[in-house]
Amino acid sequence: MQNTYEVKKDKERKTPYSTEKADITEDTFPKLVAPQAAPRKHEIIYFNLLTFGYAHIATLYGVYLACTAAMWKTLIFQNIILMLAFMGITAGAHRLWSHRAYKAKMPLQIILMVCNSLAFQNTVIHWVRDHRMHHRYSDTDADPHNPTRGFFFSHIGWVLVKKHPEVKRRGTFIDMTGMLTVLTVPHMLTVY
């Protein structure tokens, strides 16, 4: 019997980020019903684990230095960078690109993209895709940070392990056309 995921392998999909075939639609896959968290063995991404571990240890040391040895200029600079990073995530990746809540001209888009990179939360295009998937497939295995897997997983654990196969499979159906028109995104993908 032919696998439903391998329907007519002769045509390629039109999206630049997929390896799926043209005749496969989202209707081909079984419907997801929330809440859903099928048992699975998580494959740890050790680079991310080491990076996050180092960042948290360095943060503790930074807090110690902020309380004991830092100059007031350093603390002001740190708070400015922190606010710019927050603005890049909330005003840029979240409101502008994920939810399309407003339109921005190219100079503001570039500023928000640079501010987003200060937060070290991956590229804008990956952030937007994951967030749109989170809203579309909330509380299912196709949700990148599925809260039914627990508090730790939904906040940081999802970044430390490889994505669920359902996330990869259904990620090709997320509409990213608005992101592909931003001239700075391809440049950001090569720099990041």
Taking 70 as the pLDDT cut, the residues of the chain under it are: 1-23, 27, 33-34, 180-192
Count of structural domains, the chain: 1
Asked if the structure places residue 31 within a domain, the reply is no
Domain-located, residue 160: yes
Burial class (CB in 10 A: 0-12, 13-18, 19+), 130: buried
What is the pLDDT, as a whole number, of residue 172? Answer: 84
Please report the pLDDT score of residue 9 as a whole number: 37
Helix and strand element counts for the chain (H, E): 9, 0
Q: What is the pLDDT of residue 64?
A: 97
> Encoding tokens for residue 107?
């100079």
pLDDT at 175: 85
How far apart CA 184 and CA 122 sit, in angstroms, is: 15
Range of the domain at 104: 42-191
By percentage, how much of the chain surpasses pLDDT 90? 47
Helix axes 106-118, 72-87, angle to 10 degrees: 120
The verdict on residue 4 lying in a domain is: no
Q: What is the DSSP letter of 51?
A: H
Give a yes or no: residue 10 inside a domain: no
Distance CA 111, CA 99 (A): 18
CB 112 within 8 Å of CB 176: no
